[in-house]
Amino acid sequence: MAANDNPTVRGRRLGAELRRLRLASGLTGTQVAARLLISQAKVSHMETGRRAVSPRDVRDLCGLYGVTDQHVVDSLMGLARESRRQGWWHVYGDIPHGVYVGLETEAASLHTYEPMVIPGLLQTPAYAAAVIEETIPLATVEQAAARLKVRLRRQHRIYDPARRLRLWAVLDESTLRRVVGSREIMREQLEHLHALSTEPHVTVQVLPHAAGAHPGLSGQFSLLRFPDSGRAVVYLERFTSDLYLERPHDVRHHELMYAHLQTQALCPDRSRHLIRETVGLYASPPTR
C-alpha cells in the first residue's frame, strides 16, 4: 500500500478536519450528538480517528456545520471512503496496536524510549519471537505467528531506500542486560543492534543505570512525526490498550522528556561501545 493510501492516517486527518469544522461552527460535541441522534462518544471517536467515518456521516456533519462548498464536502467524503480501506497489516487478522502500525507506516520520523526490551523495529526474528512468546502467554501459536510476521514487516521502513524512517532510540541499559530467549539470541540481537546503530538514519543511545532517576521511569513512549505537516503523535503502549496524545501541550511535554533522556544517555559512539562490550559478555560462558 502506498504511503498516501494509509487508511489509519487518512482517518485521523479526516477526524482532525471534522473537529476543525465543528469548532468553527461553534457547536460542542454534545450538541452535535443531540442534533444527529448519535452518542457523544461516536462524535469524539470520529474526530480522533478511532472510529471509521462513513461518507454519509461526513455529509450529515457538513450539513450541520454549514459547509456549502461542495468541493470540500466531496473531498472529505473521499477521505472517508479511503480511510475505510484496509492497511497491509489487516491480512494478518485482528492484531493489537493496529492504529499504531498505521501511524508508524506513514511517519517520517520516530523517537522512541524503551526501558525493558529492544524496540520492535530493531529486533531480530529470534528475539522478536522470544518477546512475543514470553510476554503474551495466552496467545495461540497462530496469533503469535501473526504478530511476529507483522513485527518483521514493519521493519521494512528501516531498509526502504525511498522512504527510510528516521529513527532515534533511547534504550535503558536494562534492555541490554535482560536475557530474552537465550544468551545466544541476546548476542545475535546486540550484534544486530550495533550494526543498525551505524546507519546514518538510525541513532541509538543507551541510558546507563548510573544515570539514576530520569523522566523515562514512568514507562515507554514514542513520538511520531509525519511528512506532510509539523504535527506529532505521542504513543504510549499498554498491555490491553494504547494511548495516543496529540494536544500540543502533551506533545511538548513528551518532547521535553525525550530531550532530557537524550542528554542523560550516553552519546551514540559511547553507546555503541557499551553495546559491543555487552556482546562480548554473551559470547563468554556465564559467571556463577
pLDDT, averaged in runs of 10, over the chain (288 residues): 50 81 91 90 82 86 90 83 62 67 86 96 96 87 90 89 92 96 96 96 96 91 82 80 83 95 97 96 76
Q: Give me the pLDDT at residue 85, please.
A: 65
The 10s digit of each residue's pLDDT in 122-131 is 999 999 999 9
Global pTM value: 0.74
**Strand order, beta sheet including 232-236:** 202-207, 166-172, 109-114, 221-225, 232-236, 243-245
Cα–Cα distance measured from residue 218 to residue 157, given in angstroms and rounded to the nearest whole number: 28
Q: What is the DSSP string of the chain?
A: --GGG-HHHHHHHHHHHHHHHHHHHT--HHHHHHHHT--HHHHHHHHHTSS---HHHHHHHHHHHT---HHHHHHHHHHHHHHTSPPGGGGG-S-TTHHHHHHHHH-SEEEEEESSS--GGG--HHHHHHHHHHH-TT--HHHHHHHHHHHHHHTHHHH-SSS--EEEEEEETHHHHS--S-HHHHHHHHHHHHHHTTSTTEEEEEE-GGG-S-GGGG--EEEEE-TTSS-EEEEE--SS--EEE-SHHHHHHHHHHHHHHHHHSPPHHHHHHHHHHHHHHHHSPPP-
Q: Give me the pLDDT at residue 237, please.
A: 82
The 10s digit of each residue's pLDDT in 236-252 is 987 666 788 888 899 99
Q: Give me the pLDDT at residue 5, please.
A: 45
**Domains of the chain in sequence order:** 3-85 (1.10.260.40), 90-283 (3.30.870)
Task: Write out 91-123 in H/E/C secondary structure.
Answer: HHCCCCCHHHHHHHHHCCEEEEEECCCCCHHHC
